[in-house]
Structure 1
């Protein structure tokens, strides 16, 4: 197994028409979640992934399992939960450039994950463990599950990748800051955005953020600066890799998950750090051009074509 990830995926409903959702009568149903988006992104790039989670023992949960399994992700450690339903969220396209997301996930099946879900025999098979800051925010038992997974990974030499993926609505700012800094200190690679770095440390300066994350304990910091590009910091190296510019952004949701998939794919393929970041930037850019969390995740051939400037509406 190349990568294992742990977290919640929800059923996603989007109105068939743009504008205020109160006027919508028809919706399309998809699935989305940072961790499964990441796992699916990696499978499309040719890697083996596994996903740890719980879904409701309901029709949406069963459909979700079928969907994620169909994308090539191993779901052996996803449990059907009788005591709670599959989480939901709605994505509202109010007008061009304005997208609102509303979650209905409190008390969901995934929030019941606990230390038992961090199966040692499963996690130790992987080269990388991917964690986001969303999962520990779901419940106390989810936080315990994440910390147990990290402990298992560290004990077996599995590289830990942490994407803070801050969701302020899920917990207090104090609890979020404390927990995200705790996990950052335990991770090998941290993938924050500039805004997340400012939330955690009170500064937007990339060099300062790189230094602070490294001082906390991370070995590598991959700092995402949106349409500008990506900064990289380690004990012995630093660089900036410009982004691919996209003329028409359709849906930015999921771009960070796409970047993470592209970057880790580059590491798995033993690319240089610069080239791995380039691949991450390319996947993130491609994701923004399609409506949906996973629908825009590309296969490797498409990424290579895009990076060679053969795709449409792309400059570098």
Structure 2
């Protein structure tokens, strides 16, 4: 029961401290990508996860393969002649973070249908994709839809995180593609704003479910989550934690849900794990560095000091 996912993972340059990038005193360098973040999250929770993607023949591409492998993810990194993409992130204020992408023409954006082996799709417990990859280019979009078609034909559940990125495409171009993506999925994750791009905002859960998925989860930040799973409605609040870095919380949430789904846990248990994983992730800086283990989740509501 393995998670299989694919997409672009990039190098991440993050400014230290808070304030305009102009005055940053130092920077850290890591990796980040929605799909690989989910793979790391599932692996940390004891599941099996495979990530596939293209990386450049450079130090950043090598770092991505090394970091993901070290995190317990089975990594299928295809070396491309183009460069590995980069993102630069800084916190303009305590409340607002800004991310700039340098990925046009990158190795990751050159993903194609031929890169994704059908055997990986048909043998997976869940195939997970996001709405980011279709925005990267025609071949990447074709890879997503062909992979979903293969998984659907084999009866393998497909998970989609809408993950709309306004810096990659505008809402008018994105909406019909994202709607099509969701209509082919079994499990869908979206924020209220993302879902409202292509369904009626009056009843997001019902409207998303009408498109076809049997499991619809709306991630609503500080308001927790709402879900409709096999016709039954659920609602969970967030756990109270001190927020250090909100980036990566959504991916940790998805990882928590899918990790439990792969083990056959009940819908209520999946959502509880998702909420706890997302809460833990925001207490640590970085995209996937804060992905928790099962033991850490169990300790989340316990004492602050563990001796």
Same fold by TM-score greater than 0.5: yes
1:25 positional shift: 5.2
Contact 1:19/1:94 (8 A) holds in 2: yes
Residue 231 of structure 1 pairs with residue 226 of structure 2: yes
Contact 1:16/1:28 (8 A) holds in 2: yes
Residue 256 of structure 1 pairs with residue 254 of structure 2: no
2:134 aligns with 136
Give a deviation string over 1:285-311, Cα, whole Å, max 9, x none: 1111111011111111101221xx205
Contact 1:214/1:235 (8 A) holds in 2: no
Q: How many angstroms apart in 1 are the aligned matches of 2:205 and 2:15?
A: 40
1:75 aligns with 75
Give a deviation string over 1:207-265, Cα, whole Å, max 9, x none: x111111111111111111111111114531121222122x211111100000000111
The correspondence for 2:213, drawn from 207, 214, 218, is: 218
Q: How many angstroms apart in 2 are the aligned matches of 1:155 and 1:194?
A: 30
Contact 2:16/2:90 (8 A) holds in 1: no
Q: How many angstroms apart in 2 are the aligned matches of 1:119 and 1:199?
A: 32
Give a deviation string over 1:11-53, Cα, whole Å, max 9, x none: 0011234321122353210101100110000100001110111
1:243 aligns with 238
1:113 aligns with 111
1:312 positional shift: 3.9
Q: How many angstroms apart in 2 are the aligned matches of 1:24 and 1:288?
A: 22
1:202 positional shift: 4.8
Pairwise CA RMSD of aligned residues?
A: 1.5
2:66 aligns with 66
Give a deviation string over 1:64-99, Cα, whole Å, max 9, x none: 1111111111113x20101x1000011102232221
2:293 aligns with 299
Structure 1 length normalisation: TM-score? 0.93
Q: How many angstroms apart in 2 are the aligned matches of 1:270 and 1:305?
A: 23
Q: How many angstroms apart in 1 are the aligned matches of 2:116 and 2:149?
A: 10
Q: 1:235 to 1:282 in 2, by over 3 A?
A: closer
Farther off after superposition, 12-21 or 294-303: 12-21
Contact 2:126/2:262 (8 A) holds in 1: no
Q: How many angstroms apart in 1 are the aligned matches of 2:96 and 2:145?
A: 35
Q: How many angstroms apart in 1 are the aligned matches of 2:254 and 2:262?
A: 12
1:197 positional shift: 1.4
1:289 aligns with 283
The correspondence for 2:172, drawn from 154, 159, 174, is: 174
Contact 1:219/1:235 (8 A) holds in 2: yes
Contact 1:227/1:245 (8 A) holds in 2: no
Q: How many angstroms apart in 1 are the aligned matches of 2:32 and 2:303?
A: 26
Contact 2:9/2:32 (8 A) holds in 1: yes
Q: How many angstroms apart in 2 are the aligned matches of 1:71 and 1:265?
A: 15
Q: How many angstroms apart in 1 are the aligned matches of 2:206 and 2:166?
A: 24
